């Protein structure tokens, strides 16, 4: 006899579009429950991230009522976890506890019972997790069987639960079977049924009932491309459930908690840092990811495949500095929140602001924007924008309780180099001297908006397949299209530097706009991406002054800051020091980068005289002035480059992988103010003001 725990996990990124969630509801959440509810013998386990469960309770209360009834009948177990679906290992322990408590209360409110176990986000495991989880009242967590295989257990000996601990605080672990995770619903149903029958035949005694858990996304059952037709219209789910019912004497369905109550753990297990195998491959940096793929394909290494682990989830923070910036900004704000909360604000209004800031911080910890694999993730600008919107809302609320300094210095992104934060009541800029003296973040505080929020174009493993005109079919379903809708290979450009603002380009006078578009200026890399030495910081403004050495040992001075008493204006000034050789047959450019998110939206774009061009516009605009308008966030960005002959504008398009295959995504636009070859000084003043 085999006990089968079907564990389905449903999640949507925080602030995802309503129509996207409605599609997931109509194509997977509701039809799966329809099919399962009609089988009285079927018992299963569900997990909904908290904000999604609350969304469903508001939009589809009848659905949540059905969950409550199934739970009361003992047919469904609801799991807990982090309310906003964070990577628990990557956030402070106090945040872990709050995330777990919020989802526990949410599940109990909607279904009538508190969860006993948790869905571990992306199955990201680190060895110190048992203590904070146990302290928060968690009894068990789901991991992948690959976690146990990496720890040295044999594949046939992980059908059950294990006990683990940290600092003497214990936690039960249930391993999800990788074969079932892949087979359901992507392989013919007979394969999974045959697998279950074979395991059952090896354990004929009723008391000897191994547990096979299948834990994966509920969205695979209808929301992924081609899966609705496969799972429901073509009858895959009906045939699978019919076959499962026919195995009633060999396979019984169960909830995880019921199984754990009847069966002791198989032993004590200590797991290494891990996630599911695909995640650990995606986390590898290039070119290690390519080498890993070749190793996995080598038959000679087959006996060691379970030890070819790839990289831990945190490697995404090293692979993508944009993810690291958000993560460390969240940690910094979490520390600030703790300091404010410990002072115990007295008035009701202050307490309300502290509580609201806490909610925004927790929402910003939603995992989706911090990594990239099969889905868009980090490559989706709306997901990054959601993180920054919540971070800046928390920042704004905390600022009303503890006024922030106009200038702050520190290594908040933990890369070994200093960053400098400059701010006024309206704008905030983060300067990175080690990256060409650029600005990595540029915030319009009244709108909780990071107006920069771009993404560097970099190689990904799947780009080679795109060059070969191979498309995506993530579900691996028969008849699904494998040819991409368009040839993406021409869009595979890779940036030499992060897509930051206030970057300096010093290049030959014969370079033209077309060279800029194709990344062919052949600029001085020391000025564009080298380390600029901080010479002076001034609270008046505030302002930071830096110096760098160009080719030929020529020094260039740069100042970034705000022009008091106009807190809505930010300047980037360059000059060659007195007595330095002239720029000669070189041209000077200052690049600004902005991302207003929707490249074709009619309510935003480039203001060129009386004409509003879409954000995706490419072109050379003659003159000193250039402006952007954002009708959604009600702001206007005006750039003035005195003496410049033109602005060269190019959109930033990335090519990434998603559920439906390859897609081209707008990541903002770069605008380069260009000066003639003579002259030794330049300036760009950027003003952000409210748009009526």
Q: 317: buried, middle or exposed (CB in 10 Å: 19+, 13-18, 0-12)?
A: buried
Among residues 494, 654, 637, the alpha carbon closest in space to that of 568 is found at 637
Cβ(396)–Cβ(416) under 8 Å?
no
Helical H segments across 365-439, by residue range: 381-399
Strand (E) or helix (H) holding 238? helix 236-246
Neighbouring residues of 429: CB distance < 8 A, sequence distance ≥ 6:
421, 422, 423, 439, 441, 442, 443, 560, 570
Among residues 498, 444, 489, 485, the alpha carbon closest in space to that of 691 is found at 444
Selected catalytic residue, list 77, 85, 95, 122: 122
Maximum alpha-carbon separation in the chain: 92
For residues 492 and 495, give the distance between their C-alpha atoms in angstroms, rounded to a whole number: 10
Q: Return the structure tokens found at 149.
A: 């295989």
Integer CA distances (angstroms), 153 to 123, 125, 266, in order: 18, 17, 11
For residues 35 and 419, give the distance between their C-alpha atoms in angstroms, rounded to a whole number: 54
Helical H segments across 297-366, by residue range: 315-319, 321-342, 348-364
Is 217 a known active-site residue? Answer: yes
Is 101 a known active-site residue? Answer: no
Selected catalytic residue, list 135, 139, 191, 217: 217
Which residue pairs from 21-27 have beta carbons closer than 8 angstroms and sit at least 24 positions apart in sequence?
A: 21/52, 21/55, 22/59, 23/223, 24/219, 24/223, 25/56, 25/59, 25/60, 25/63, 27/222, 27/223, 27/227, 27/228
Cβ(293)–Cβ(381) under 8 Å?
no
Provide the phi-psi class of 416: left if phi over 0, else alpha when psi is between -120 and 50, else beta.
Answer: left
Residue 688 φ then ψ, to 5°? -120, 125
Q: 468: buried, middle or exposed (CB in 10 Å: 19+, 13-18, 0-12)?
A: exposed
For residues 592 and 134, give the distance between their C-alpha atoms in angstroms, rounded to a whole number: 48
Cβ(429)–Cβ(422) under 8 Å?
yes
Catalytic residues: 122, 217
């Amino acid at each position: 006899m085999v006990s089968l725990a079907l564990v389905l996990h449903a999640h949507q990124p925080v602030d995802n579009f309503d129509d996207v969630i409605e599609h997931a509801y109509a194509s997977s959440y509701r039809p799966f429950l329809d099919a399962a509810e009609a089988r009285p013998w079927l018992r299963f386990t569900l997990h909904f991230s908290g904000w999604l469960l609350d969304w469903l309770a508001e939009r589809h209360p009848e659905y949540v009522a059905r969950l409550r009834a199934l739970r009361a009948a003992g047919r469904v177990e609801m799991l807990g976890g982090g309310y906003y679906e964070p990577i628990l290992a990557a956030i402070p322990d106090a945040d872990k506890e709050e995330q777990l408590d919020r989802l526990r209360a949410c599940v109990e409110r909607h279904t009538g019972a508190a969860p006993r176990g948790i869905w571990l986000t992306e199955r990201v495991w680190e060895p110190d997790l048992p203590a904070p989880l146990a302290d928060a009242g968690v009894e068990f967590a789901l991991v992948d069987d690959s976690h146990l295989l990496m720890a040295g257990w044999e594949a046939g000996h992980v059908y059950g639960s294990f006990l683990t601990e940290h600092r003497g605080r214990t936690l039960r672990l249930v391993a999800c079977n990788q074969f079932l995770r892949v087979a359901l619903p992507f392989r013919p149903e007979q394969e999974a049924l045959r697998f279950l029958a074979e395991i059952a035949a090896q354990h004929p005694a009723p008391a000897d009932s191994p547990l096979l858990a299948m834990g994966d996304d509920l969205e695979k059952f209808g929301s992924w491309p081609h899966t609705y037709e496969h799972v429901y219209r073509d009858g895959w789910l009906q045939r699978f459930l019919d076959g499962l019912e026919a195995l009633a004497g060999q396979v019984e369905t169960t909830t995880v908690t019921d199984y754990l109550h009847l069966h002791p753990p198989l032993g004590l297990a200590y797991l290494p840092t891990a996630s599911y195998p695909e995640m650990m491959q995606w986390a590898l940096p290039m070119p290690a990811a390519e080498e890993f793929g070749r190793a996995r394909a080598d038959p000679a290494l087959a006996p060691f495949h379970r030890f070819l682990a790839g990289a831990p989830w945190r490697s995404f923070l090293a692979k993508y500095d944009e993810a690291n910036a958000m993560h460390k900004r969240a940690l910094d704000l979490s520390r600030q929140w703790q300091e404010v909360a410990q002072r115990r604000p007295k008035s009701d209004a202050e307490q309300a602001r502290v509580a609201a800031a806490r909610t925004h911080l927790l929402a910003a910890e939603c995992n989706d924007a911090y990594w990239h694999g099969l889905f868009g993730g980090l490559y989706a600008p709306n997901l990054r924008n959601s993180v920054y919107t919540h971070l800046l809302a928390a920042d704004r609320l905390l600022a009303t309780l503890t006024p922030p300094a106009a200038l702050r210095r520190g290594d908040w992104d933990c890369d070994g180099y200093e960053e400098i934060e400059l701010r006024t009541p309206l704008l905030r800029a983060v300067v990175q001297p080690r990256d060409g003296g650029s600005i990595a973040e540029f915030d319009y505080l009244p709108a909780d908006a990071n107006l920069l929020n771009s993404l560097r174009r970099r190689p990904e493993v799947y780009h080679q397949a795109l060059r070969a005109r191979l498309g995506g079919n993530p579900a691996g379903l028969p008849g699904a299209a494998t040819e991409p809708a368009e040839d993406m290979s021409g869009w595979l450009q890779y940036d030499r530097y992060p897509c930051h603002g206030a970057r300096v380009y010093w290049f030959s006078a014969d370079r033209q706009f077309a060279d800029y578009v194709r990344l062919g200026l052949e600029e001085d890399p020391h000025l564009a991406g080298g380390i600029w030495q901080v010479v002076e910081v001034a609270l008046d403004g505030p302002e930071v002054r830096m110096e760098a050495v160009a080719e030929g040992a020529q020094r260039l001075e740069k100042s970034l800051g705000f022009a008091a008493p106009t807190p809505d204006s930010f300047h980037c000034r360059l000059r060659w020091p007195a007595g330095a050789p002239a720029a000669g047959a070189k041209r000077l450019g200052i690049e600004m980068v902005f991302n207003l998110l929707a490249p074709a939206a009619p309510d935003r774009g480039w203001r060129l005289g009386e004409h509003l061009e879409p954000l995706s516009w490419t072109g050379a605009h003659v003159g000193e002035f250039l402006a952007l308008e954002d009708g959604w966030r009600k702001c206007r960005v005006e750039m003035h480059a005195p003496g410049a002959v033109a602005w060269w504008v190019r959109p930033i398009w990335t090519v990434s992988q998603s559920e439906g295959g390859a897609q081209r995504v707008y990541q903002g636009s770069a605008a380069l103010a260009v000066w003639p070859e003579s002259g030794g000084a330049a300036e760009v003043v950027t003003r952000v003001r409210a748009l009526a």
